[in-house]
Amino acid sequence: MKLVPILRRMTLALLLMAGGAGAALAQPGYYQQPGYPQQQGYRDPRAYPPGYYPGKLVQPAQPQPQQGFSLRRFFGVPDDPPPPARAPVARPRKPAAAPAVAKQEKPKINPSTQVVVFGDALAGFARQGLDAHYAENQDVEVVAKVRGDVNLVRADPADWPNFIRSTLDGGQKVSVAVVMLGTNDRQSIREGDEAVEPLSDRWRDLYRQRVDAIMGVFKERRIPVVWIGLPPMKNSKISDDLVAMNEIYKESVQRHGGTYVDIWPGFVDEENRYTAEGPDVDGEPTKLRTNEGVFFTRAGARKVAFFADTEIKRILGQGGAAVAAAPNPAASAPAEGAPAPSIEAAIPAPPDAAAPVALPQKPLVGPVLPLTRQDVAPGGALVTAPPKLTGDHAYAAQRAFRVGAAPGSRPGRADDFRWPNP
């Protein structure tokens, strides 16, 4: 008896499924839809549906069968239509960032002081530091005459002196010459057919002669020189050799009237050993040397310039900048018949001695007081007991010093903390 309802239900389900399939087969193509052009040879592309070509029947796209079991599809109930597609939302584009523009340095017009840097690769870092140091000073111009691939050993002994002379003769104004040489000079010097070993006695004599030749050009033109010594290196053997070379620079420069700047203490630690980090010109710890242990970082170059600037200011004075030029023999020659000037006349007179300042007289010995004397009263009698507190202030003193109670504040005094203040 129970099979009858089950068979009825199955029959109903089969009918519904058959009806859905027939309805799908009965769907018209594009040629059966209203508005479809039926005329033979009609070619208006605006009347054709998408994908239609003349002479070809295009069926509408059938929905793809969905995967999985569904009671709605089992009983022939159509699925819910898909939600309408949303139009893409146009997001406002961010404004394109303006291209970075390099900071344009203000050109210096007719600076009164020209600091010309001569030397090798290390001199390039000294020039970089001086440029940054004088960037805001419109009266000081830093000029680079650096040759990084030319040292003082392998080149001809007259190469550097001739280069300096040609620079000065070419019209370059020089207030102060800054020299830094010797980065690659730990090499043998050729003397004829013989190679002189580095830092031997003969090598030092030949090297000193080449330094003297450079200093002789500046002395001849009366140009003040600031020679910057070499810094310590990461390699301890190289540092030991540079100490000996710095002694040659110092002796030759000072003998010719120049100024030697020792930057060694600024790049070593407390034990006088090489360090890549240290305080900068502002006293902040930072990295001063590059990874290979030879050259400088930007902060290290500023520190080298700081050492040199101290001597440059001393040479030029407080803001003064007299441009040195070649001496004029005609101007310094005495007139005919005039006696030759003596050396004493060329020496300026010493300044007047300042008057001594009178200081107050201080007694040699003060009053002698015994350390074990007894206290006496104002009348001269010996004090045998502590003084007694009498008078109006006795009560307040006893409370403050014996009991420990603070006295009350008075209106208007600093310890009057009453609120509101009357």
The tens digit of pLDDT for each residue in 266-305 reads 999 988 899 999 999 988 999 999 999 999 999 999 999 9
Average pLDDT estimate for 195-209: 94
Quick check: 325 pLDDT over 70? no
- HSE-CB at 350 with a 13 A cutoff on CA atoms is 3
Model pLDDT for residues 213-231, shown as the tens digit of each residue: 999 999 999 999 999 999 9
Taking the CB of residue 169, how many other CB atoms lie within 10 A of it?
A: 10
* Strand-pair partners of 268: 274
Q: Quickly list H helices, 53-180.
A: 71-74, 121-133, 159-169
Q: Reduced to 3 states, what is the DSSP secondary structure of residue 65?
A: coil
pTM for this structure? 0.54
Per DSSP, 117 falls in state E
Q: Which of 195, 213, 293, 199 is nearest to 247 (CA)?
A: 199
CA–CA separation, 220 vs 349, rounded Å?
25
Whether residue 276 contacts residue 287, with contact meaning beta carbons closer than 8 Å, is answered with: yes
- Cα dist from 362 to 358, 359, 365, 366, 367, whole Å: 12, 9, 9, 10, 13
* Residue 322: per-residue pLDDT: 42
Both tokens of residue 367? 């009053």
Task: Assign a CATH topology to domain 113-328.
Answer: Rossmann fold (3.40.50)
- Answer for the pair 112, 321: CB distance below 8 angstroms, yes or no: yes
Residue extents of the structural domains in the chain: 113-328
Q: What percent of the chain has pLDDT over 90?
A: 41
Torsion angle (degrees, nearest 10) of CA 390, 392, 394, 399: 170
User: pLDDT tens across 30-84, in order?
Assistant: 444 444 444 444 455 555 555 555 555 545 555 555 555 666 666 666 666 666 6
Q: Which pair of tokens denotes residue 323?
A: 């441009």
Which structure tokens are listed for 170? 């070419």
Altogether, the residues listed in the chain come to a count of: 422
